[in-house]
Structure 1
């Protein structure tokens, strides 16, 4: 009887993961595809929730990041970059960033918390790790001057397919551990399989998503295969250091925002740098 109950529970968990994955995927794809405004609302919400989740993790270990300042300023950074792409504000608005960042220092004077500079550092870390990365997505969305979903959607597709390729290659051929201290399940064979699969998908994308030529899609695929894994490992390192299994529970059956977007957070800055420099 206990085995039957356990089996039903596993089936229910799997069904929940599938249903939430389908619904979330549809919402996600629709938000990016529909318009620049739905894209902005979607990722502004993810920025807010992601920074909040990061601070909640730190609070579990007794740290005291400044939730309000970090969330407000992280979201303000996303909005600023988005408005810059629409030419609704000028580049001179970037001069406001240093004073805005120092607001975190000033606010700590009034919080009366222990280890004030640890709190400041962790508050800024959340803004940079989550808010800074998500804030670079509008640059990809407006790469050619007008909003287009192609580069963002293509990047996400490459991340998902790279993960899938790595999983199946690792299950089939995995022998040599990639980073056993942090993520015992990852193997070199899995990483190579994910990279090959990602490059193949990048080639296919170049035939249908014409905003970028083949060399750029292959470059993005290579960046995803390298820095996507590193982003995953960094988030695993964070969770291990804080002794938690998942970053949150906001996505039923899938964990938290950081669990789902760990690869994207590290990949996006490198893709932006690649496309802008080359």
Structure 2
């Protein structure tokens, strides 16, 4: 428990520090987190006997994140007028996944290709949407919304754990996550919504109703993301995605709620600001 608490404290400090260090550090930091999550995903697949194209997948993942992150820095640095053209280099980069499989002697080449792209879709794309939350206001970089996202996600996880542990009776989805309960699920939504309202007092980019709506989306979709990751790990008989965080497991375990929630929250906010 002590190791878990110490690791959690320093992880939160480093994460929150990345928000205040500027747009470049924010982009690089979460890009690195995305790549580590992708590496953990491929590692789990290899343990199960699958053979994704790890090196090519990591290169494609890094480039996918960087290409879309660069689009937002175009607004921060107007002199980079042609930076959007980097996105088109994704075409030959993605084709390399198919071509490389021609030179590998494996029994299931298209399964390998599918798992390689699934890793990018499951980890890199959500982190790209999360990164975009820092620029969704169309006024340059602002750390308030992505920071608020994580604070509400953590509030949901904490609320669900505490309420579920104290009052939990009815199982939410026992087949994939035996410890989750409906009571904890509802408690997490309430605690996250309260956190959203508190954030609205200090962060004025959104009205309180929008912060609370964002909290509800994070709680509901984030819980589904948690269940999807649990389903994936159970399908390959693995408990933790990795051991990079002592006492906490892997990064993929820590960001499972973000994977489905970030794209949904960005979509919601995009229509608010546009």
TM-score range, shorter chain: over 0.9
Tell me whether 1:82 sits opposite 2:54 in the alignment.
Answer: no
1:217-245 CA-partner distances (Å, limit 9, x unpaired): 12210111101100110111011001011
Is this contact kept in 1: 2:63–2:90, CA < 8 A?
A: no
TM-score after normalising by structure 1: 0.92
Flag structure 2 segments of 5+ consecutive residues without an equivalent: 75-79
Cα distance in structure 2, aligned partners of 1:206 and 1:71: 38
Unpaired stretches in structure 1, ≥5 consecutive residues: 1-13
CA–CA distance in structure 2, aligned partners of residues 33 and 212 of structure 1: 19
Q: Quick check: 1:272 aligned with 2:259?
A: no
**Does the residue aligned with 2:255 lie in a helix, a strand or coil?**
helix
Cα RMSD over matched residues?
Answer: 1.3
Deviating more after overlay: 177-186 vs 93-102: 93-102
1:85 and 1:138 in contact (8 A); partners too? no
Deviation string 1:5-59 (CA, Å, 9 cap, x unpaired) is xxxxxxxxx1111111111111111012211121122111111111111001000
Greater mean deviation of Cα atoms: 150-159 or 200-209: 200-209
State the Cα deviation string for residues 243-262 of structure 1 (Å, max 9, x = none): 01101111111100111100
Answering whether residue 33 of structure 2 is matched by residue 46 of structure 1, we say yes
1:227 maps to what in 2? 221
Q: Which aligned pairs between 1:79-118 and structure 2 lie closer than 5 A? A: 79-87=66-74, 88=80, 89-118=82-111
SS at match of 1:185: strand
Counting only pairs closer than 5 Å after superposition, residues 130-149 of structure 1 correspond to structure 2 as 130-144=123-137, 145-149=139-143
TM-score (norm 2): 0.93
Q: Aligned with 2:180: secondary structure?
A: strand
Q: Which moved more, 1:189-198 or 1:210-219?
A: 210-219
SS in 2 for 1:132: helix
Moved over 3 A (4+): 88-99
